[in-house]
Copies of this chain bind each other. A is one copy, B any other.
Amino acid sequence: MVKVIIIGSGNVAQHLIAAFQNPQNLGTEIELVQVFSRQIGSVSQLLDSDHITNDLDTLAEADLYIIAVSDDAIAAISSKLLFKNRLVVHTSGSVPLNALDDNNRKGVFYPLQTFTKNKAVDFRTIPICLESENATDFQLLEKVAKAISDKTFAINSEQRKALHIAAVFVNNFTNHLYQIGQEICLENQVPFEILKPLIAETANKIMLLSPEEAQTGPAKRNDTDTIEAHEAFLSNQNHLTIYKTLTQSIQQNGKKL
């Protein structure tokens, strides 16, 4: 049996706890033995109270400690652990492996997904990016990750940084484009609902086509009449700047090919 302890009670911690306890994932050789939460109440709906502690000093013995707390608290928490030479990992896309304290063996267990409290996700489809200092630890991480997900990847800190930045583009920035779409709708008394099937299909397409193949629109066609008409229509300066920047980028792309 591989014993796992989760430190934290936020979004990621709660989804991890649920995944390890999902009946579909039992029968694997992984056991979630304890969770640390500053406030016991945050996770008491997820597991029995004798498996929860709010005192770092009383953490049980385990094969793997997963620190799933805010990025800026990871280093401090890892340095407060009283034991030595055990495997301690964090779940962050942007914190390097070496932010973890030298007292223990270091690793990363980064689930590349955007989690929302109270919104279930199918953890088995979530890519987990793994990093460790040696092959034995990697095997352990992989065993644990495979217990809850079908997709595990060896990703070093440099690659993880790149992935995290790419994730900012396809997640944070994309969501901001949805918001601009909504703003344009509001300004023109059109329900934003009308755009939702298009948003869904745009994401669907990328599962089958490459982004180059899926690209359409006035910028791609170099349709300058339509581009000029759109620019004249956009009275919001911020929307206009973004329209021009992205249109230019798509047009440059066309020239590259």
Contact = CB atoms under 8 A, between A and B. Distances in A.
Copies of this chain, how many?
2
Contact of A166 (B185, B205, B210, B218): B185
Nearest to A211: B179
A113 interface: yes
A249 B238 contact: yes
A22 interface: no
A222 interface: no
Contacts of A203: 174, 199-200, 202-204
Interface stretch (A45-53, A54-62, A155-163): A155-163
Interface stretch (A23-31, A77-85, A119-127, A140-148): A119-127
Contacts of A178: 169-170, 174, 206, 211, 214
A250 B172 contact: yes
B159 A198 contact: no
B177 A174 contact: yes
A102 interface: no
A156 to B, nearest CB: 10
Nearest to A165: B230
Ranked 8 nearest A-B pairs via Cβ = A172-B217, A179-B211, A162-B188, A203-B203, A170-B181, A166-B184, A166-B181, A178-B211
Interface of A: 71, 94, 112-114, 116, 119, 121, 125-127, 129, 151, 153, 155, 158-159, 161-163, 165-182, 184-185, 187-191, 193-212, 214-220, 226, 229-230, 233-234, 238-239, 241-243, 245-246, 249-250, 252-253
Given A175-B216, A176-B211, A202-B203, 12 more contacts: A113-B197, A114-B198, A129-B194, A158-B188, A159-B189, A162-B188, A162-B233, A166-B182, A168-B217, A173-B246, A179-B211, A182-B211
27 contacts: A94-B226, A114-B201, A114-B205, A114-B216, A116-B205, A119-B205, A151-B197, A155-B194, A158-B188, A161-B233, A162-B190, A163-B185, A166-B184, A169-B177, A169-B181, A169-B243, A170-B199, A172-B220, A173-B242, A174-B199, A175-B206, A175-B216, A176-B215, A178-B214, A179-B211, A196-B206, A196-B207
